[in-house]
Amino acid sequence: MAEGPTTFRDHFLSIFQSAAADVASQIQSRKDGPPGAAPGLETADAINASAAQAAQRYLDRRNGGADGPPGGLGASLKSCADLGLRFLEAKLKNDHAALAAIEGEFRAGSCDPAWATTISEYAGYFGPDGQRGQIPYIAPSQAGEGVIEIRAGAKIALVADWGTGADPAIKILKQIAGLSPDIFIHLGDIYYSGTPKECAANFTQPLNAALGDDRAALPAYVLSGNHDMYCGGVGFYETIAALNPGPLKQSASYFCLRSSDGSWQLLAMDTGLHDYSPFSVSSAVTWLEKSEIEWLRRRVDEFEGRTILLSHHQLFSAFSPIGPADQTGARSATNPNLAAVLEQLNGDGKVAAWFWGHEHNLCVYEKFANLDRGRCIGHGAVPVFADEKIYEPVEGLDLVPKLVKETELRPGDTVWPHGFAFLELGTEGTPARVDYYQDIGGKPSLVHREEIS
């Protein structure tokens, strides 16, 4: 996983990948592999790659396509990953005959016993009938009305879709550390499915290693993405409960950071909770709880300064479809549910900008959908191959959002570069400044700088 993981917007396949990654970790930690394994074959990267390919074959079959080739991996690895995926599916369907048959194949073959035991454990992350597990969402009635005070002129690192634990994610974090932020904010997605192990290995441990573990000196905040919720949000809620001390504590999946001079506030919302459909992933158009919208509205109404919104999911996109097309093939670039939220929050024109992730790209948009500055910074760490046309608009859009000129990433030799945004709040009513970075040769390279007022 040198470049980072292959991911799927699917809770079933993401939890399977989490289980496979756990299997890989167990096997890698031993000095010798399972009986019959080829020497050096069952590395963690190879096992994770085999799981991703098994997931892709499963997805292709589900969508009516043919079973693809094994992708150059050994037959043993391919069969173990495929068996593991079939085993998880049979577990969720409570198909005793299929379970018995697959267990027999596990025993007769050369697959490590960890496949069966670990997948059995991870089946516990699902709800009834294989649906997504129940999320322990904290409602405003429990969270309270409090805001978190931050110092005037704070320097804030913003990164999204970063929680891979792979080398590119670590490099980005080291580049952020070099800029000496006061606050670190991740806009969501700890891969593959946000289990407690993944939140520790792919978020907390790298964060502590690069930025230190004194969260009173440098607090960190986390938004809810779709991958964080695939396991039922267990790891996410454990993480925010333990992350920051005392008055800096994040009490819910939404929060408000407010500068001590009353100039700026950052208002974060939970779009991960409802990015889910039991029928089709592509039909999921996320939305917010009514009580949460009311909580956000109160934070805007009581504040005289400028507001910056934060979420995992996009308000709009020119390059990634939001929801299904209609019968004519036409589609909207905008999430209507989040547009309605913006309408409620921006009635007095207090919203200066909205930062989001979800889409693994950097997009600095011109004014669109009644928002002055829509900013996608989802290029945190998930690899996107250089031959992918990430700036080609989605077909059938009624209106196409336009990018600010000369703000696109520069493609690398194999993948598009990763990066982050660095926000420095103004003081006493002065503008904020945002720098957008991409990783070029292991160093942060400035793509664009702007003032926000």
Q: What is the pLDDT of residue 79?
A: 86
- Report the alpha-carbon distance of residue 194 to residue 190 in Å, rounded: 5
- CA torsion sign, 239 to 242 to 248 to 250? positive
Q: What is the pLDDT of residue 40?
A: 42
Q: What is the pLDDT of residue 278?
A: 65
Specify which residues 50 forms β-bridges with.
none
pTM above 0.85, yes or no: yes
- Report the alpha-carbon distance of residue 364 to residue 114 in Å, rounded: 45
Q: What is the pLDDT of residue 106?
A: 87
Q: What is the pLDDT of residue 325?
A: 87
Whole-Å CA distances, 84 to 7, 34, 113, 136, 195: 17, 16, 11, 28, 18
Domains of the chain listed by start with CATH number: 11-130 (no CATH), 140-452 (3.60.21.10)
Closest by Cα among 384, 421, 441 to 3: 384
Q: What is the DSSP letter of 344?
A: H
Contact 68, 81 (CB under 8 A): no
Instruction: Please count the residues of the chain.
Output: 453
Positions of the chain with pLDDT under 70: 1-2, 31-42, 65-76, 278-282
Q: What is the pLDDT of residue 280?
A: 58
Closest by Cα among 244, 403, 257 to 333: 403
